[in-house]
Amino acid sequence: MDSKSSKKCPGILLTTNRDLKNPSLDVEHSHAGYLHIGIVEKAKEEMKNLFIMSTNTPSQVFVEVVNNLPKDNTVKRTLCNCKGRMYPKKPQNLSELSITGDWTLYKNERFLLYNSGPDSDERTINFSLDDGLQYITDANNWFCDGNFSLSPEHFLQLYVIRVKKRDVFVTAVYCLLERKAKSTYKKMFSILYEKCAERNFFPDPKVLHIDFEQATIQAAREIIGFELEIRGCFYHLCQNTYRKIQNLGLQKLYTNNDSFSHFCGMLDGLAGLAFLPLQKIDEGMNFLKTVVPPEADELLEYFDCTYVTGTYKKVGSGECIKLRRIKAMYQPKIWNVHESTLNGEHRTNNMCESWNNRFKHVVGHNHLTIWKLIDKMRQEISVNIAKIELNEIGLTSKRKENT
């Protein structure tokens, strides 16, 4: 079985062709059993025997055997109890969390890259194979994202770094983070570079595709380099603007008034500032200020202050007040997609967004235990390896990815 091969189990169970009910254990197993395999195999054997000994059709045999199985709830409860015995005890807090033995490995290869330990002020745990570190070293573009619902208990987020290996996007690094401060991300990137250097890997990404989050942007520039090109996700830009529309109580107007929604589209939509040449954005913003409907004044001011012109800081008092210009939090070069569109490059961080959605489906629920998450991450690695191998022999087709 899969368990036997992956855990190198020496267990041997002897049966005869006519007697499957009383097998003898020749060599002990080295791992916990998987009860669902026994249920499935028993059902299959009953179907075979019943079909041979009766005149019923395969469909009739299937229905008869399935009807004789235990009730759904009984089977589910039994399987859940069995699976629960496969995992270590669930830690009540991070000081109780200790990752050892097979949980640090992918098959027989090291998977746990770094563990700050239970005595650290801020717990950080990173997972990556050496192949994953090689992937990020070879890649010019890193696609980074934090997911809060996928984080295991007692952690705030699961942060991933995805890169393109040949024509396949893979998750190269998984980081479990307790916070989302600038210091958190600086530590994350620093550890990654230290572990790469220990293996004579020297990553030098040119572009980081990330969310609009100052803590991550500043940390990446301080650790990776200030020359690093930061690209915010166009989809997230649109999301942020729509959230502001909702916060201002303008959602109903946006939905029902074509003129108002068209103006909003000139801010961030497909006819918006993001698609203008970079040097034309100030001119575009000045134009929008001449055509803004009264209801959108506050929305336009928000977009201009946050993404284009910035704000002004008062310095001094009385008659000695001066105004000093403060740059926009997210300057146009971060979110402008004019050149990306012309060059067929990525306008969004969809490589992470689509992975988040797919991995959520694989995981099945939010905030699972760390043991189940490690299992799912190892399954993901197996899928990635298979995709890369298939791609190398030409058995996968290219997908359009410049979104």
Render pLDDT for 130-164 as a digit per residue (tens, 0 to 9): 999 999 999 999 999 999 999 999 999 999 999 99
Q: Write down the pLDDT at residue 224.
A: 97
Name the segment(s) of the chain with CATH classification 3.30.420. 94-233+380-392
By DSSP bridging, strand 112-115 and strand 109-110 are: unpaired
- DSSP per-residue letters across 89-111: PPPSSGGG----GGGGEETTEE-
* Residue 133: other Cβ atoms inside 10 A: 20
Looking at residue 9, its amino acid is C
Q: What is the mean pLDDT of residues 378-388?
A: 90
Tokens 């740059």 -> residue: 327
Query: How would you classify residue 132: left for phi > 0, otherwise alpha for psi between -120 and 50, otherwise beta?
Result: alpha
Measuring CA to CA, which residue among 195, 196, 221 is closest to residue 208? 221
Query: How would you classify residue 115: left for phi > 0, otherwise alpha for psi between -120 and 50, otherwise beta?
Result: beta
* Confidence at 330, pLDDT banded by 50, 70, 90: very high
How many Å separate Cα 236 from the centre of its chain?
Answer: 15
Could you give the strand order of the β-sheet that contains 168-177, starting from the edge strand earlier in sequence? 112-115, 124-127, 168-177, 157-165, 141-147, 207-210, 229-232
Does the pLDDT of residue 243 top 70, yes or no? yes
Mean pLDDT over the full length of the chain: 84
Helix (H) or strand (E) holding 24: strand 24-27
Q: Write down the pLDDT at residue 293.
A: 95
Q: Which residues lie closer than 8 Å to 90 by C-beta, 6 or more apart? A: 153, 369, 371
Q: Write down the pLDDT at residue 234.
A: 87
Record the tokens describing residue 122, joined without a space. 């801020």
Q: How far apart are CA 274 and CA 229, in angstroms?
A: 16
94-233+380-392 maps to CATH 2.170.120: no
Residue 254 near residue 233 (C-beta atoms within 8 A): no
Residue 169 near residue 145 (C-beta atoms within 8 A): no
Record the tokens describing residue 270, joined without a space. 């497909």
Looking at residue 169, its amino acid is F
Q: What is the mean pLDDT of residues 97-114?
A: 96
Higher pLDDT, 63 or 377: 377
Q: How far apart are CA 123 and CA 99, in angstroms?
A: 13
Q: Write down the pLDDT at residue 45.
A: 80
Q: Write down the pLDDT at residue 4.
A: 46
Among the ranges 224-228, 269-273, 391-395, which has the highest mean pLDDT value?
224-228
Record the tokens describing residue 340, joined without a space. 């990306």
Instruction: Print burial letters for 184-196: b (CB count within 10 Å at least 16), e (below 16).
Output: bbbbbbebbeebb
Q: What is the mean pLDDT of residues 17-37?
A: 56
Q: Which residues lie closer than 8 Å to 355 by C-beta, 6 or more apart? A: 160, 162, 169, 171
By DSSP bridging, strand 207-210 and strand 141-147 are: parallel
Does the pLDDT of residue 184 top 90, yes or no? yes
Does the pLDDT of residue 56 top 70, yes or no? yes
* Confidence at 10, pLDDT banded by 50, 70, 90: low
Does the pLDDT of residue 229 top 80, yes or no? yes
* Confidence at 3, pLDDT banded by 50, 70, 90: very low
Q: Write down the pLDDT at residue 34.
A: 54
For the entire predicted model, the pTM comes to 0.74
Q: What is the mean pLDDT of residues 331-339?
A: 92
Phi, psi of 190, deg, nearest 5: -60, -45
Q: How far apart are CA 176 and CA 179, in angstroms?
A: 9
Q: Write down the pLDDT at residue 38.
A: 64
Does the pLDDT of residue 211 top 60, yes or no? yes
Higher pLDDT, 2 or 205: 205
Q: How far apart are CA 200 and CA 402, in angstroms?
A: 32
Q: What is the mean pLDDT of residues 121-135?
A: 97
Higher pLDDT, 358 or 233: 233
* Confidence at 2, pLDDT banded by 50, 70, 90: very low
Does the pLDDT of residue 25 top 50, yes or no? yes
| Surface-to-core class of residue 296, CB atoms within 10 Å of its CB (0-12 exposed, 13-18 middle, 19+ buried) | buried
Per residue in 287-314, pLDDT (tens digit) is 999 999 999 999 999 999 999 999 988 7
Q: How far apart are CA 230 and CA 210, in angstroms?
A: 7
* Confidence at 285, pLDDT banded by 50, 70, 90: very high
Does the pLDDT of residue 81 top 70, yes or no? no
Does the pLDDT of residue 380 top 60, yes or no? yes
Q: What is the mean pLDDT of residues 388-397?
A: 78
